[in-house]
Amino acid sequence: MKLRQRLPLLVWLSSVVLMLIFVMLTLPGTKWNSNITAAIPGAAEPWQQQLLQQNQSSRHLSLMLSGMPMDELRTAAARLQQQTIADLHWYQPGLLFQQLQLQYQQHQALLASPEALHLLQTGQYQALVDAAWLRLLSPAPLLDNALQQDPLLLTQQFIEQSSLTTGLQPRQSWFETTAGSIEPAVILLHAHLSIDPFDRNASTTLALELQQQLEQLQQQWPALNIARSGVLFHAVQAGDNASFEMQFYGGISLAVILLLLLINFSSIKPLLLAITILSCATLSGLAAVLLLVPQPHVLALVFATTLIGIAIDYSFHGMLAANQGKHYFRAMLPSMALGLLTTLLGYLTLTVLPFTLLNQVAIFMCAGLIAAFISVWIVFPQCISASNLRVNQRVLRYCAAIMQAYSKVSVKVLMSGAVSAVLLLILALPQLRFADDVRLFNQSPATLLAQEQQVRALGKQQWDSRFIIVLADSAQQVLQQETALQHLLEYWQQQGWLTGWQALSQQLPPQKLQDELQQQLQLAYQSAPVQSYLQQLQLKVPAAVSSRLLPDNFNSPLQQQLLTLTDQFAGVILLNGVSAPAEAIDQLSALPQVFWLDPITDTNKVLAELRDQLSLWLMLAVLVTLVILLWRRGLKAACGITLMLVLAVGGALLISQLVQQQLNIFNLVAALLVVALALDYGVFFTAGLNKAGVYQAVTLSALTSCLAFGLLSFSQTPAVAGFGFTVFSGVALAALLAPLLTVIAVKENQTRGTL
């Protein structure tokens, strides 16, 4: 019999031990993600997702060294590159430029500028001859065998007219400002990462190692200025922020909650019990996330710190009820179960949204809350007997005073207040403004953003977040389509809608164009102006070139812009200074297999749709609550609780708008949570439980929830801060309004339970 009584406790204990073992084994190998864009809904098309996954731009980083004379900067740059950092590979621009030149040298007469090709196509041979003479007489060196293979020097001129220069001089291992230039000496180093910068552990290790090396350089050269650019720095910063906030806010929440417990009970036992419940809840939440999510997001853990604030409520209710005896504890359980159910429903709605971050938060919270409830249910009756805990009399007196103050409110005053509040809400709610802009969710520090801007401006790498995608069945078709688009892009440039663009076809013309150039050249060689030119130079007509420069035998960093998807090829055209009107973009998108990709706008559209869905969910949640309450609590209590929920949610959103200026989807998610949390207060205040006990439990519960969510409003991540502030406001309003329910509440029979 004794064993049978102890069985649930043993099962609970074994489960906790098993979860602990699982977490300890899994946690060290877990890859934590810090990419905010991966955590929110994005492009829907499968090819777009493939494309964004293959995008290598997040794996680049750049460092700008300045503040010293060029010689010293070179020494510092060379010192930095001498130190090896695993998974970081420095680009060798000089070497890449030489490689490119060598490839062109081996394929002369296969590449010509669009202007030269036009002259050939229109038979304007004399102009080509004149241009060749000008180039021949320049003191600048020529490519090897230029005259024998390409007497009109078209490939030579193609290289020299290339517009892909950065404005900086390529050195062997970096770019630098031109000697003698009036601009201050600057060196720009580029590197490629072989790790995912959003992989929290790997990126932190790499960034730390790099930081140490940069600090060493700055110790040696105090005047040295280093500006950083690259996703790595932002990802590590975001990860560090999230990690700090998780520990800091979690720590403060825990400390204050434990202090509240100490004040309330003046005993160590409740402290130990609360720690047990919170540890068990956290362990379960973590285990569930590790089990179900392959790469959890660090930001999910920041949201998850709120578990402490909610799970502790069950401890308060459990302790206070158990202290009044097993009978009272059993009577309280259904109310707590109803509270758990409503909170779980609130979080479960988040799992159906296409929002990875919120899905993870929901998994963590649901598992944690269920564990907290089960722990309270199993552990507390075993550990707390009637009047086992001494409740601080001063706290009880405060609660009694609050109770007395609320009891003075007359039904008439309450009703007129409620009507005024509803009217106010009806007038104010249409003023709510939402901004569905993913860029507002996360913000890097201003110094890092300024450095990013500085480095990008210097390297002329200010590519727009929008780009053009060309899809085709083969790489050659991609190059052909890119070449065909050049006229349109030139037109955009003439109209001032585009500053520049970068496509692989600018370095590697399609095979068809190379074939055409060869044919046109053979015709040109037979023309009188070219014949005369060749005779003057005593050169023979070169034979037709049979080899071609193809993606397979071409090596350039621009090849990263040609991607192989599951069943097709994609060419990415990077754009600079885009201000094209919607009609121009529509015209471009109407071209076959040409797509205008704007991941930010696409994500914002998805966010807007999601926000509409969430608004419906919110209204549905309130309606379902009303129906359940009508069934279980009667008309008055149901209407009262629903009104309290509407006022708490509406008020929280209005206050949030006043503070944030604009609301976002996270405020709406928070509103959903306010419904779940505030409902608990309504349930307890309309239950036939000891009033003083309810006041004490709800006050403590509201205090802890306000603390946990209120702390989040100080987060550096705007999305987290907005979420925290709305829940804080909603819970605070609900806690203030819920005691008024006692004025209209229908008291239930204590022996029958409360549900």
Partner 1 sequence: MIKRLCSWLLLLTTLPCLASTDGHADLLRFSGISGQTPFVQVKQLQGLPVPLTSRGYLQLEQDALLWHTTAPVDSKLLISSTGVSQWHQQQYIAIAGSEFVGQLMLAVLRQQHSFIAAHFALNKESDNCTGLQPLQAPLDKLFRQITLCGEHNLDTLTLTELNGNVTQITLEHTAAKP
Residues that bind partner 1 (CB under 8 A): 71, 94, 97-98, 101, 130, 133-134, 136-145, 147-148, 159-165, 169-172, 178-181, 537-539
The amino acid present at 525, given as its one-letter code, is: Y
Burial of 724 (0-12, 13-18, 19+ CB in 10 A): buried
CB 691 within 8 Å of CB 742: yes
Enumerate residues 6+ apart whose C-beta is below 8 A from 587.
none
Least Cβ distance, residue 78 to partner 1 (angstroms): 12
Nearer to partner 1, 161 or 519 (CB): 161
Two tokens at 14? 């074994």
Least Cβ distance, residue 63 to partner 1 (angstroms): 21
User: Within 10 Å of residue 679's Cβ, how many Cβ atoms?
Assistant: 29
Least Cβ distance, residue 458 to partner 1 (angstroms): 15
Least Cβ distance, residue 294 to partner 1 (angstroms): 46
Least Cβ distance, residue 145 to partner 1 (angstroms): 7
Least Cβ distance, residue 301 to partner 1 (angstroms): 49
Nearer to partner 1, 145 or 589 (CB): 145
CB 331 within 8 Å of CB 751: yes
CB 174 within 8 Å of CB 188: yes
Q: Crossing angle for the helix pair 200-220 and 231-265, nearest 10 degrees?
A: 110
Nearer to partner 1, 28 or 139 (CB): 139
Least Cβ distance, residue 156 to partner 1 (angstroms): 10
Least Cβ distance, residue 138 to partner 1 (angstroms): 6
Least Cβ distance, residue 228 to partner 1 (angstroms): 26
Nearer to partner 1, 174 or 617 (CB): 174
Nearer to partner 1, 404 or 538 (CB): 538
Nearest 5°: the CA angle 289, 290, 292 is 65
Least Cβ distance, residue 162 to partner 1 (angstroms): 5
Nearer to partner 1, 15 or 486 (CB): 486
DSSP 750: G
Two tokens at 360? 């993870």
Nearer to partner 1, 75 or 218 (CB): 75
Burial of 254 (0-12, 13-18, 19+ CB in 10 A): buried
Full DSSP string of 636-650: HHHHHHHHHHHHHHH
Nearer to partner 1, 122 or 219 (CB): 122
Least Cβ distance, residue 70 to partner 1 (angstroms): 10
> CA–CA separation, 267 vs 383, rounded Å?
14
> CA–CA separation, 564 vs 559, rounded Å?
11
Least Cβ distance, residue 118 to partner 1 (angstroms): 14
Nearer to partner 1, 521 or 594 (CB): 521
Nearer to partner 1, 46 or 184 (CB): 184
Least Cβ distance, residue 159 to partner 1 (angstroms): 7
Nearer to partner 1, 188 or 468 (CB): 188
Sign of CA dihedral 220, 222, 225, 230: positive
Nearer to partner 1, 143 or 333 (CB): 143
The amino acid present at 115, given as its one-letter code, is: E
Two tokens at 60? 């680049």
Nearer to partner 1, 178 or 393 (CB): 178
Full DSSP string of 305-356: THHHHHHHHHHHHHHHHHTT-HHHHHHHHHHHHHHHHHHHHHHHHHHTSS-H
Bridge-based pairing of strands 562-564 and 463-472 is: unpaired
Place of tokens 């910063």: 237
CB 651 within 8 Å of CB 644: no
Nearer to partner 1, 183 or 473 (CB): 183
User: Within 10 Å of residue 493's Cβ, how many Cβ atoms?
Assistant: 15
Place of tokens 């420095």: 90
Max intra-chain CA distance, the chain: 116
Full DSSP string of 487-544: HHHHHHHHTTS-SEEE-GGGTS--HHHHHHHHHHHHHHHTSHHHHHHHHHTT-PPPPP
CB 414 within 8 Å of CB 743: yes
Least Cβ distance, residue 97 to partner 1 (angstroms): 7
Nearer to partner 1, 531 or 690 (CB): 531
Place of tokens 């008439």: 412
Place of tokens 């609660």: 399
Least Cβ distance, residue 131 to partner 1 (angstroms): 8
Least Cβ distance, residue 69 to partner 1 (angstroms): 11
Nearer to partner 1, 10 or 537 (CB): 537
Both ends of the chain: CA-CA distance in Å? Answer: 30
Place of tokens 């608990």: 680
> CA–CA separation, 108 vs 106, rounded Å?
6
Least Cβ distance, residue 142 to partner 1 (angstroms): 6
Note the Cα 34 to chain centre separation in Å. Answer: 7
Least Cβ distance, residue 148 to partner 1 (angstroms): 5
Nearer to partner 1, 157 or 514 (CB): 157
Nearer to partner 1, 127 or 626 (CB): 127
Contacts of residues 446-453 at CB distance under 8 Å and 24 or more positions apart, as own/partner, are 448/228, 448/233, 448/234, 448/237, 451/64, 451/227, 451/228, 451/229, 452/228, 452/229, 452/233, 452/234
SS3 call for 571: strand
User: Within 10 Å of residue 419's Cβ, how many Cβ atoms?
Assistant: 11
